[in-house]
Structure 1
Protein backbone atom coordinates (compact mmCIF):
# COMPACT_ATOMS: atom_id res chain seq x y z
CA UNK A 1 0.00 0.00 0.00
CA UNK A 2 1.63 3.17 -1.20
CA UNK A 3 -0.95 5.80 -2.11
CA UNK A 4 -4.11 7.39 -0.82
CA UNK A 5 -5.90 5.71 -3.71
CA UNK A 6 -4.77 2.33 -2.35
CA UNK A 7 -6.29 3.20 1.04
CA UNK A 8 -9.52 4.27 -0.66
CA UNK A 9 -9.66 0.94 -2.49
CA UNK A 10 -9.08 -0.94 0.78
CA UNK A 11 -11.95 0.91 2.45
CA UNK A 12 -14.12 0.38 -0.62
CA UNK A 13 -13.76 -3.40 -0.17
CA UNK A 14 -15.59 -2.96 3.14
CA UNK A 15 -18.29 -0.72 1.69
CA UNK A 16 -16.81 2.55 2.89
CA UNK A 17 -16.78 5.55 0.58
CA UNK A 18 -15.54 8.82 2.02
CA UNK A 19 -15.93 12.25 0.48
CA UNK A 20 -16.20 15.22 2.80
CA UNK A 21 -15.10 17.80 0.27
CA UNK A 22 -11.67 18.75 1.56
CA UNK A 23 -8.75 16.37 1.07
CA UNK A 24 -7.42 16.85 4.61
CA UNK A 25 -10.81 16.04 6.11
CA UNK A 26 -11.19 13.02 3.84
CA UNK A 27 -7.85 11.71 5.10
CA UNK A 28 -8.89 12.25 8.73
CA UNK A 29 -12.20 10.40 8.17
CA UNK A 30 -10.37 7.53 6.48
CA UNK A 31 -8.17 7.26 9.56
CA UNK A 32 -11.20 7.09 11.82
CA UNK A 33 -12.77 4.41 9.64
CA UNK A 34 -9.54 2.38 9.56
CA UNK A 35 -9.38 2.54 13.36
CA UNK A 36 -12.96 1.26 13.57
CA UNK A 37 -12.31 -1.60 11.15
CA UNK A 38 -9.19 -2.61 13.05
CA UNK A 39 -10.92 -2.49 16.46
CA UNK A 40 -13.71 -4.64 15.02
CA UNK A 41 -11.01 -7.12 13.96
CA UNK A 42 -11.99 -6.79 10.31
CA UNK A 43 -8.57 -5.52 9.22
CA UNK A 44 -5.36 -7.36 9.97
CA UNK A 45 -2.51 -5.49 11.66
CA UNK A 46 -0.34 -5.40 8.52
CA UNK A 47 -3.03 -3.78 6.35
CA UNK A 48 -3.99 -1.40 9.14
CA UNK A 49 -0.43 -0.23 9.74
CA UNK A 50 0.36 0.16 6.04
CA UNK A 51 -2.78 2.23 5.47
CA UNK A 52 -2.13 4.39 8.55
CA UNK A 53 1.41 5.16 7.35
CA UNK A 54 0.01 6.36 4.01
CA UNK A 55 -2.63 8.48 5.74
CA UNK A 56 -0.12 10.06 8.11
CA UNK A 57 2.18 10.94 5.21
CA UNK A 58 -0.68 12.41 3.16
CA UNK A 59 -2.07 14.33 6.12
CA UNK A 60 1.34 15.87 6.86
CA UNK A 61 1.61 16.86 3.20
CA UNK A 62 -1.79 18.59 3.32
CA UNK A 63 -0.89 20.43 6.54
CA UNK A 64 2.39 21.65 5.00
CA UNK A 65 0.52 22.75 1.89
CA UNK A 66 -2.02 24.68 3.99
CA UNK A 67 0.68 26.32 6.06
CA UNK A 68 2.70 27.38 3.04
CA UNK A 69 -0.37 28.89 1.38
CA UNK A 70 -1.24 30.81 4.55
CA UNK A 71 2.26 32.24 4.98
CA UNK A 72 2.63 32.99 1.27
CA UNK A 73 5.80 30.91 0.87
Structure 2
Protein backbone atom coordinates (compact mmCIF):
# COMPACT_ATOMS: atom_id res chain seq x y z
CA UNK A 1 0.00 0.00 0.00
CA UNK A 2 1.28 3.40 -0.96
CA UNK A 3 -1.70 5.73 -1.05
CA UNK A 4 -4.97 6.47 0.73
CA UNK A 5 -6.73 5.05 -2.31
CA UNK A 6 -4.86 1.77 -1.80
CA UNK A 7 -6.07 1.69 1.81
CA UNK A 8 -9.64 2.38 0.72
CA UNK A 9 -9.45 -0.55 -1.70
CA UNK A 10 -7.90 -2.72 1.01
CA UNK A 11 -10.71 -1.87 3.45
CA UNK A 12 -13.32 -2.65 0.77
CA UNK A 13 -12.11 -6.26 0.85
CA UNK A 14 -13.49 -6.36 4.39
CA UNK A 15 -16.76 -4.69 3.43
CA UNK A 16 -15.75 -1.29 4.76
CA UNK A 17 -16.45 1.87 2.79
CA UNK A 18 -15.74 5.12 4.60
CA UNK A 19 -17.02 8.46 3.38
CA UNK A 20 -18.53 11.10 5.61
CA UNK A 21 -17.44 14.09 3.55
CA UNK A 22 -14.83 15.36 6.00
CA UNK A 23 -11.34 14.35 4.90
CA UNK A 24 -9.81 14.23 8.39
CA UNK A 25 -12.87 12.45 9.75
CA UNK A 26 -12.62 9.88 6.96
CA UNK A 27 -8.95 9.32 7.71
CA UNK A 28 -9.56 8.95 11.45
CA UNK A 29 -12.29 6.38 10.78
CA UNK A 30 -9.90 4.50 8.49
CA UNK A 31 -7.34 4.46 11.28
CA UNK A 32 -9.91 3.08 13.73
CA UNK A 33 -11.07 0.43 11.26
CA UNK A 34 -7.49 -0.68 10.60
CA UNK A 35 -6.92 -0.98 14.35
CA UNK A 36 -10.05 -3.08 14.74
CA UNK A 37 -9.03 -5.38 11.87
CA UNK A 38 -5.56 -5.78 13.34
CA UNK A 39 -6.85 -6.51 16.84
CA UNK A 40 -9.20 -9.11 15.37
CA UNK A 41 -6.12 -10.63 13.67
CA UNK A 42 -7.68 -10.22 10.22
CA UNK A 43 -4.68 -8.34 8.81
CA UNK A 44 -0.96 -8.90 9.08
CA UNK A 45 1.18 -6.66 11.31
CA UNK A 46 3.09 -5.38 8.26
CA UNK A 47 -0.15 -4.42 6.47
CA UNK A 48 -1.36 -2.66 9.60
CA UNK A 49 1.86 -0.74 10.15
CA UNK A 50 2.15 0.31 6.52
CA UNK A 51 -1.45 1.50 6.30
CA UNK A 52 -1.25 3.28 9.64
CA UNK A 53 1.82 5.25 8.59
CA UNK A 54 0.12 6.38 5.39
CA UNK A 55 -3.10 7.38 7.15
CA UNK A 56 -1.34 9.25 9.96
CA UNK A 57 0.89 11.06 7.46
CA UNK A 58 -2.16 12.17 5.47
CA UNK A 59 -3.93 13.33 8.66
CA UNK A 60 -0.87 15.43 9.51
CA UNK A 61 -0.82 16.94 6.00
CA UNK A 62 -4.54 17.78 6.14
CA UNK A 63 -4.23 19.41 9.56
CA UNK A 64 -1.29 21.49 8.34
CA UNK A 65 -3.34 22.63 5.32
CA UNK A 66 -6.17 23.68 7.61
CA UNK A 67 -3.71 25.57 9.81
CA UNK A 68 -2.40 27.53 6.81
CA UNK A 69 -5.91 28.66 5.92
CA UNK A 70 -6.65 30.09 9.37
TM-score scaled to structure 2, two decimals?
0.97
* Count of aligned residue pairs for this structure pair: 70
Shift of 1:29: 0.2
Residue 26 (1) aligns with residue 26 (2): yes
Q: CA deviation at 1:20?
A: 1.1
Mapped to 2, the partners of 1:16 and 1:32 lie a distance apart of 12
Which has the larger Rg?
1
Deviation at 1:54, TM superposition (A): 0.4
RMSD, aligned α-carbons:
0.5
CA distance in 2, matches of 1:32, 1:20: 14
Which runs of at least 4 in structure 1 moved beyond 3 Å after TM superposition?
A: none
Distance, in Å, in 2 between the alignment partners of 1:53 and 1:10 is 15
How far 1:27 moved relative to its partner? 0.2
Unaligned runs of 5+ in 1: none
* Separation (CA, whole Å) in 2 of partners of 1:2 and 1:66: 23
Give the 5 Å matches for 1:1-73.
Answer: 1-70=1-70
Give the Cα–Cα distance (whole angstroms) in 2 for the partners of residues 3 and 69 of structure 1.
Answer: 24
